[in-house]
Copies of this chain bind each other. A is one copy, B any other.
Amino acid sequence: MNKSGYHIAVVGATGAVGVEILRVLERRGFPVADLKLLASSRSAGKRLAFNGREYVVGELNSAAFADIDYAFFSAGATRSRQFVDAAIQAGAVVVDNSSAFRMRADVPLVVPEVNPRDLQDNKGLIANPNCCAAILAVAIWPLHVAFGIKRIVVSTYQSASGAGAQAMAELEEQVKAYADGQPITHKVFPHQIAFNLFSHNTKVMDNGYNEEENKLVEEIRKMFHAPALPIVPTCIRVPVLRAHSESVVIETERPVSVARAREILSHSAGVKLVDDAPNNHFPMPLEATGDLDVHVGRLRLADADSHSLALFISGDQLLKGAAWNAVQIAEELIKHR
């Protein structure tokens, strides 16, 4: 440990999540003694500001991790598979935002509000969950502890930026083309996203669920230590720039009441209760954007027997769904060092 702080590397620093990691490190006053920004050769040489100073982005290679304490990887699964080992060998603790290692038995997959103790078993590598899984986990974990969740049905409303900065730009370009009376074209997404929505743009697997949906199921099960928990996900892209929303119905082992669920969520870490029925004010992506907390509301009983609850959540998938959860993992590791 460096007395004045830590040597930090951000891999994929110019990407949508990489940029957010820098903003979150600033916002949290994270003790950064030295900062190394890394990206592919295409982005090397770019300059990025951090705490009022400019940093030049260096090219990602295996020799880049000397003296690094914490390396945040957010450059896709291929880059992670290629370079994470080098970072660990160099002595860095890696928080990896890609899907590359999430389901590996020897790699903890962590949302600090849910399973912080899993961090203890880390071997220099911690996986950061899929954005929808992280947001959902924060919202329903306290309900799982209280009532014992035995089934989850979840439909998502996922923003364009979940597919990266270029996808967000595509939505903006399509909307501008529409406003100008020009034809709408698409290249990042398989379909027009402006004024449209579609099943998540990942491959549909043999079980009928797409990759995003399968990640959601597997990752919630792993974090909750509930390997057989039934989860029925439907992942949908919507023409929102940022923040994912999810319509959730949980079934519970023990009786649930709206009043008790509301009370629990009102003091749960990482949750902001937005549940103002008289003013029709509930979680919305526009309000969740930029917030570290996940907004949770529309609490109501799902069936008459008081063993199920419906809720609606919105969370910034670049923050709790990615950058903030990654930085939070590093904060947690430092706390228990």
Binding site for B on A (CB under 8 A): 151, 153, 155, 157, 171, 175-176, 178-180, 190-192, 194-199, 201, 203-204, 207-210, 230, 232, 234, 236, 238-241, 245, 247, 249, 258, 277-278, 280, 282, 284-286, 298-304, 308, 310, 312
Contact = CB atoms under 8 A, between A and B. Distances in A.
B282 A199 contact: yes
Contacts of A232: 249, 302-303, 308, 310
A275 to B, nearest CB: 10
Nearest to A159: B195
Contact of A247 (B155, B179, B300): B155
B234 A247 contact: yes
6 contacts: A171-B195, A191-B284, A195-B286, A196-B284, A199-B282, A208-B300
Contact of A236 (B153, B194, B247): B247
A303 B207 CA distance: 11
Given A175-B178, A179-B180, A208-B299, A198 B157 contact: no
Contact of A179 (B176, B191, B204): B176
A179 B176 CA distance: 5
A196 B249 contact: no
